[in-house]
A and B are shown apart, each in its own frame.
Chain A
Amino acid sequence: MENIKSLTASQIDFLKELINIGVGKSSASLNTLIDKHIILQVPLVKIMTYPEMMEYLENYKDEKYASVTLPFRGDLVGNIKLLLSSSNAAKLADTFIGENLNDVDLDSIRSGVLNEIGNIVTNAVLGSMCNMLEVELDYIVPYFEEGNKTIIIPKQLDEKESVVLYAQTDFVIDELQVIGSFAIFFEMDAFKLLIEKINKYIE
């Protein structure tokens, strides 16, 4: 855990910048899917250990959530997740579908669109990271799930040996603002390697 505490300001800034670049690219892709202008904002980035993440989860209300998860292996091992409350997910999906339904039921049309949106965001963020740091990864096809806040933490996560790179992501489409977040869960060894790669890049 000392690795996180000993991260320098440059390293933290670099990680934040990687996320911003990735989010910017995903914004460009999302804009091709609808005729409205979408802006993605990342007002908050945090690096947390597993226990700190569990504590942070207390901020999440007891309601239903929807997530799109992309597991990855190779040089780094972990998962990247896009997370929204079900009601926000329904609003976001409807904007892309071009509907305005009153219910929050995430049927297969909405979940399919959300899966694509999540895929675009997670691919862009992870892709930027891999390209800049010359990291090679293998991926598993992303999956959509809905449930209570226990779905936020991937099931495979090792409690003791995990680091979470967490970012709040706001989708702004005309007057609609949908708050979501994405998190990259790294196994500890993977995170150590990531820091090594960042150090090489910064030098």
Chain B
Amino acid sequence: MPENNIKQDFELLNHLPIGNCIIDEDYKVLFWNNYLENSTEILKSEIIGSKLSDYFPYFINKLYINRLDSIFTGGAPVIFSSHLHGFLFNDPAKKNTSRINKTVVSAIPKPNSKKYYALFSIEDVTELSNKIQQHRVLKDEAIREVEKRKIIEQKLLIDEAQLIELNATKDKFFSIIAHDLKSPFNSILCFSELLINNIDKYDSQKQKQIMGYIHESAINTYKLLENLLTWSRSQSGRISYNPEKENLYLLVVETIDMLNQGLLKKSIKLTNNISGDSFAFVDKDMFSTIIRNLVSNAIKFTQQGGEIIIEECIITDESNRDFVKISVIDNGLGMSNEVQSKLFSITHNISTQGTENEHGTGLGLILCKEFVEKHRGEIWVESEEGKGSSFMFTIPKLRQVES
């Protein structure tokens, strides 16, 4: 097609706000519109008749030649995205003035021929691309900032939960001192005052009776104080965990010896079904505290003539580790699901009176939970109102029985 005809036929393209050029199958430039002349600073008179690759060397590359081949036989338009090919119409010598272009190449039929020319439509998207990049950077920063804040928020939630627990601990401590210890001291004061004022009037039996009440109150107070102090030391990390191989039967026997008076007073039968050669890896003092608290509670909440059984069995967890499961079972009052759910929680813990108005601080079970967890075990309860309760906990067993 003569050059003049192309110029005339495509004159409209000179008025478009995008770059247009036309090449033939030899990559010879046949048309170069005004926009391109201005943006590339290459005059039509220079480039028309020359090869496109003489000015834009990327068009030597097979990547582009192969993709443009089909255009010259009437194939579908070819898109060169701005991000991957934005440099196509940049002069490599003019790096400082490089632009980013999106290029679409379409086939336009040659008159009187089955062949086609390639029409390039070149859109300058430099400003848009730069803005998008800036937007991406900002978005990235915003997302990172949000992630960072989420982490801080999580940490704050954890800290808040810990603070709530610490506050509950502190409140509990002062509440115990203010209320729970007051009652047994009142008994000591009342009975001792009664004795002082009436010792001459009372016979020895009466005196013994009152002194018995004073002694019982003193023992209860001592127990409460002991629990309180142990718990306080546990909270401040002053109780160390020192597990050794221990005979569980002997430990249980030693512990329940101290509780005999309570058992006798309520005629409660206690059966120790732990076998004599039962060994486990435990901290002796912690284990004793656990047994003492569980059995004390069982005594407290079992009626006259009731029964308490201590038994054991071996269980294996998913990682194939053996644990001894100790159960303290009573046939006493039992408790509701609601009470069970609050037993091991410092924030919800409530102290209740026993079948004969025995007092407690509610700390005993919290202490048990802490000590069981130090052994990497678990503690839980199964109970039914009116039928009794079973408190169970697990402690690690030795791998081999050592004689």
Contacting residues, chain A, for B125 (C-beta < 8 A): 108
Contact in complex: A123, B75 (CB < 8 Å): yes
Contact in complex: A112, B83 (CB < 8 Å): yes
Closest to B131 in A: A108
Known: A32-B63, A109-B132, A127-B70. A103 touches B139 (CB 8 A): yes
- The answer to whether the Cβ of A113 comes within 8 Å of any Cβ in the partner chain is yes
Closest to B63 in A: A32
- The answer to whether the Cβ of B76 comes within 8 Å of any Cβ in the partner chain is yes
Q: Annotate A94-116 by CB proximity to B: 1 below 8 A, 0 otherwise.
A: 00110001110101110011011
- The answer to whether the Cβ of B81 comes within 8 Å of any Cβ in the partner chain is yes
Q: Annotate B65-83 by CB proximity to A: 1 below 8 A, 0 otherwise.
A: 0110010001111111111
A123 to B79, CA, bound (A): 10
- The answer to whether the Cβ of A7 comes within 8 Å of any Cβ in the partner chain is no
Contacting residues, chain A, for B75 (C-beta < 8 A): 123, 127, 130, 139
Report the interface size for chain B: residues with CB under 8 A from the other chain.
29
Contact in complex: A108, B132 (CB < 8 Å): yes
- The answer to whether the Cβ of B227 comes within 8 Å of any Cβ in the partner chain is no
Contacting residues, chain B, for A54 (C-beta < 8 A): none
Report the interface size for chain A: residues with CB under 8 A from the other chain.
30
Among B67, B125, B129, B143, the one with the most A-chain Cβ atoms within 10 Å of its Cβ is: B67
Contact in complex: A141, B83 (CB < 8 Å): no
Contact in complex: B70, A113 (CB < 8 Å): no
Known: A123-B75, A127-B76, A141-B104. A97 touches B83 (CB 8 A): yes
Closest to B144 in A: A102
A116 touches which one: B74, B76, B81, B132 (CB < 8 A)? Answer: B81
Q: Tally inter-chain residue pairs, CB-CB below 8 A.
A: 72
A141 to B105, CA, bound (A): 9
- The answer to whether the Cβ of A29 comes within 8 Å of any Cβ in the partner chain is yes
- The answer to whether the Cβ of A142 comes within 8 Å of any Cβ in the partner chain is yes
B76 touches which one: A72, A97, A102, A113 (CB < 8 A)? Answer: A72
Contact in complex: A116, B79 (CB < 8 Å): yes
Closest to A97 in B: B83
A127 to B78, CA, bound (A): 12
A126 to B77, CA, bound (A): 12
Contacting residues, chain B, for A107 (C-beta < 8 A): 132, 135-136
8 tightest A-B CB contacts, nearest first: A112-B81, A116-B81, A119-B79, A139-B76, A32-B63, A123-B76, A116-B79, A141-B77
| A interface residues with partner B (beta carbon < 8 Å) | 29, 32-33, 70, 72, 96-97, 101-103, 105, 107-109, 112-113, 115-116, 119-120, 122-123, 126-127, 130, 136-137, 139, 141-142
| B interface residues with partner A (beta carbon < 8 Å) | 63, 66-67, 70, 74-84, 102, 104, 106-107, 125, 128-129, 132-133, 135-136, 139-140, 143
28 chain-A/chain-B pairs, Cβ below 8 angstroms: A29-B67, A96-B84, A97-B83, A102-B143, A103-B139, A103-B143, A105-B139, A108-B129, A109-B83, A112-B81, A112-B83, A112-B102, A113-B84, A116-B84, A119-B76, A119-B77, A119-B79, A122-B76, A123-B70, A123-B75, A123-B78, A126-B76, A127-B75, A137-B74, A139-B76, A139-B106, A141-B104, A141-B106
